[in-house]
Structure 1
Amino acid sequence: MTPSLDLFAIQPRVTLDDHASQETFASHHRALAARVDALRPRDASGRPLNPALAVWPEMVGAALGLMGHLSRVRRRKTTNGALTRVALAEWRGMLRTWSAFHPPTLEECLYATVAPRVHRAMYETFSGIARDFGLWVVAGSALLPTNRLGPDTPEYEPAGARTFNTSYTFSPDGHCVAVTRKVNLVPTQEDVLHLSPGRPEDLPVLDTPFGKLGTLICYDGFREPHTSGEPYFVPCAQYLDALGVEVLAQPSANAWSWDAPWAFNAPGETQLRSEQWFNEGLFTQLRTLKRVRYAVNPQLTGGFFDNTFEAPSLILERRGPDDVHVLAQSADPRGEDVLHVTVPR
């Protein structure tokens, strides 16, 4: 029998209420993990036949800093307005963070202040999912400074206030085995959040039973920058391909209308965001790679305040030079979905 691998792209539709508490957050994503479990092929005794990789989308934990504050922020119209209300409520912790790190912006001070709760919610939710369902899990991303205590613990102490768009990967025994920090920050989206970029040389490559696994957080999977004003843009897929990665996870969260003209069209261009995603993203870039065979690209949908996310999740296969296939694609770019394919490994 040819060894096989189950690939899952998880497309949750999120609301503000998902972030009321760690319990509400975990409940939503464990329900999605149960859908994953129900789709896995099994032998006569009920054991899963294949190893499985489940990838959650970018920014799935970005609003976890609001836990405990929903009554204060529910009527806010914008993210900035909500963050201001949370900062006022967290003023004692903010003072301690300021005293320890002197962060240059209010946003970084707030991220570091609430990071212990955000980290614990992400770690305990997705470590538990990986362990209880026997999955390799790429746990989307959240906004976190580096943990001074290391990656594989629910405990957390910020090593500083520099905050990264951060993704954790968990093995089926529940251990956090990799931390990925987004390298390329999206103009007008992440630069205004005062995030820091990761370094391409720090992108981890994991040895797994199904080959080498790497994670590229959304924009890191694109082959070219969105604008002409990004001289430090890094085509990270080429970097990981050179390191022998065979399976790429690309957690994504598209904050532009999927069916509208692309926000960064050059003069005379008329492509839609949906067209630009394929023209400049991982689908096109896969054709030029040599080692990467599969890519799992889940999308976040739904939203809160002035954030709306929409796009269809994808699972891709490179079968040869200039031969890339869409193995699965969500039918609804605005709904909740779980994509599944079983592939040779």
Structure 2
Amino acid sequence: MRKVLGSLTATVLVILLVSYGLWTSKRHVGHYLADLRIQLVINDGQPGERGNLLGIQPELFPSDYSSVKRLHRKLAAYLEQAREHGLINDKTIVVLPEHVGTWLFAINEKSQFYQATTLEEALNWLAFSNPLLFVDAMFHARGRDRLQDAHLRMKANSMAQDYQDVFGGLAREFGITLVAGSIVLPSPQVNNGQLQAGHGALYNSSLVFGRDGVPLGQPQRQLFPSGYQRGYIRPGKDAPLRVIDTPAGRLAVLIGSDSWYPDNYARLNDSSAELIAVPAFVAGSSSWSRPWHGEKHNPRAAHLDLGPKPLTEGEAWRRLALTPASTAKAGISVFMRGQFWDQGVAGHSFATRGGQSIAEQSITAAPKGARPGHGARLINLWL
């Protein structure tokens, strides 16, 4: 009898394991048609032969990341509309927001993942439907928050490939220089023109693609990650600040809060940076208008010039980023819009020319069917 029960138990376990394996192999195929509309909210200067800085502030949701094809389609639709506005030429530098590549961990997941109500629930589904990748990522996790580290590490190889396919493909398709926001990967490097993930700590990095779709140099690591990320993203404080030659001029990228610190601009001044791109990200749909709490984990933040009165998050960004201390002739700071499960994202993109800030123009009427305060944005600065 014991042998019979043992055999039955083993058979049931095998059936369950096989069923689980088959379940994990099946992936979500969505048919939701995303809103592809976008508004031109900054168009400063006059068209000329020197090109332009063009920020695309996309409105993105988990379903937009259900496949590489879908994400490409949405971003390409934004670029096509920019081209219809006459904003695309062979010297255009397009800037996308911080973490636009990080969400690539959502590619090709189960339907339960996209239907989750919270980010925590979605990440649980991510681990449950990719058990071998998750166990391996936990084994190699480096950060203090090993669970978050593992969630971002587990699909690093495919994320690196998808990042290059999507953003390198867009640069080549539209003939533009593309600052591809940022992506969190373990020790990323470009080898023989291909972005590859390593096996070290996680870094928040940005890569610039040339008009042929090939990376221009190595990834730019974020020097000072935001406080909520420091448990799993390593500061790249010793990383060089790279300046890249583009058809429109010498370009530097400062990721997020790296754009707040005068020392970074001094270094870029020494490297003769002419243009500065700031891919940025603010978590929380109402955070832009809430009090700014600063970056207490970073000793440098104590020396920031914020003036006598308390500031909102938005006011702090406008005061600190793209500072007049920079000798660059122009810059642009681009944020993301949208909702990722229970985590909203906020921010109003802006540009500077000769140290003078240029904010979004007032929008008196949203496009038909669009929700007030929502939707994608185009921010253009003629050089």
**Same fold by TM-score, threshold 0.5 exceeded?**
yes
In the alignment, is the contact (CA less than 8 A) between 1:216 and 1:237 conserved in 2? no
Match for residue 17 of structure 1? 63
- Residue pair 1:328, 1:341 contacting (<8 A) in 2 also: no
1:245 and 2:286 are equivalent in the alignment: no
Residues 181/3 of structure 1: CA separation in 2 closer, same or farther (3 Å cut): same
CA deviation after TM superposition for structure 1 residue 159, in Å = 1.9
Distance in 2, Cα, partners of 1:112 & 1:309 = 22
Q: Which residue of 2 aligns with 1:90?
A: 130
1:222 aligns with 2:260: yes
Counterpart of 1:8 in structure 2 is 54
* Contact 1:10–1:337 (CA under 8 A) maintained in structure 2: yes
Q: Deviations over 1:259-303 (max 9, x none)?
A: 22224499x953222222222322xx2x1123x111021110112
Residue 36 of structure 1 deviates from its aligned partner by 2.5
3-state SS, counterpart of residue 53 of structure 1:
strand
- Partner residue, 1:167: 206
**Separation (CA, whole Å) in 1 of partners of 2:149 and 2:259:** 26
> In the alignment, is the contact (CA less than 8 A) between 1:164 and 1:197 conserved in 2?
yes
Q: For the aligned residues, what is the CA RMSD?
A: 2.7
What does residue 358 of structure 2 align with?
326
Tell me by how many angstroms 1:80 deviates.
2.9
Identity %: 22
Structure 1 runs not aligned, ≥5 long = 43-47, 225-234
Q: Deviations over 1:202-254 (max 9, x none)?
A: 22211123221110011110137xxxxxxxxxx42332222111100101112
Residue 112 of structure 1 aligns with which residue?
A: 153
Q: What pairs up with 1:1-345 in 2 under 5 angstroms?
A: 3-40=49-86, 48=89, 51-97=91-137, 101=140, 103=142, 105-147=146-188, 150=191, 152-153=193-194, 156=196, 158-178=197-217, 179-188=219-228, 190-192=229-231, 194-223=232-261, 235-256=263-284, 257-264=287-294, 269-282=309-322, 285=323, 287-290=324-327, 292-318=328-354, 323-326=355-358, 331=363, 334-343=374-383
What is the total number of aligned residue pairs between the two structures? 313
Cα deviation for residue 328 of structure 1 reads 5.7
CA contact (8 A) 2:281 2:346 kept: yes
Contact 1:8 1:339 in 2 (8 A): yes
Using a 3 Å threshold, how does the CA distance of structure 1 residues 200 and 134 change in structure 2: closer, same or farther? farther
Aligned mates of 1:195, 1:265 — CA distance in 2? 15
Q: TM-score, normalised by structure 2?
A: 0.74
Decide which moves more: 177-186 or 236-245.
236-245
Contact 1:262 1:271 in 2 (8 A): yes
Counterpart CA distance in 1 for 2:227 and 2:81 is: 35
**1:82 CA displacement:** 2.0
Assess if the C-alpha contact under 8 Å between 2:350 and 2:357 holds in 1: no
- The 8 Å contact of residues 312 and 333 in structure 1, kept in 2 or not, is answered as no
Letter in 1 for 2:59: R
Paired with 2:331 and 2:52, the residues of 1 have a C-alpha distance of 12
In 1, are the aligned partners of 2:72 and 2:170 still within 8 Å (CA)? Answer: no
Structure 2: how far apart are the matches of 1:330 and 1:171? 33
Larger Rg: 2
Listed one character per residue, the Cα deviations across residues 2-49 of structure 1 (whole Å, up to 9, x for unaligned) are: 74212201010011111111111111111112123223369xxxxx4x
Structure 2 distance, partners of 1:272, 1:148, is: 36
SS at match of 1:65: helix
Determine the structure 1 residue equivalent to 2:33.
none
4+ residue runs over 6 A deviation:
none
Q: Counterpart of 1:25 in 2: which secondary structure?
A: helix
Instruction: Name the CA shift for 1:102/1:146 in 2 (closer, same or farther; >3 Å).
Output: closer
* Counterpart AA for 1:271: L
CA distance in 1, matches of 2:233, 2:104: 16
**Structure 1 contact 39–340 (Cα < 8 Å) conserved:** no
| Cα distance, 1:342–1:265 mapped onto 2, change above 3 Å | closer
**How far apart are the structure 2 equivalents of 1:329 and 1:210?**
25
The offset of 1:149, in angstroms, is 6.3
Aligned 8 A contact 2:98 2:281 in 1: yes
Cα distance in 2, alignment partners of residues 12 and 151 from structure 1: 30
CA distance in 1, matches of 2:294, 2:258: 17
Tell me by how many angstroms 1:112 deviates: 2.5
Q: Conserved in 2, the CA contact under 8 Å of 1:330 and 1:339? A: no
Q: Structure 2: which amino acid aligns with 1:106?
A: L
Contact 1:146–1:160, Cα closer than 8 Å, also in 2: yes
Q: For the residues of structure 2 that align with 1:310 and 1:90, how far apart are their CA atoms?
A: 30
1:327 Cα shift? 7.1
Counterpart amino acid of 1:239?
A: R
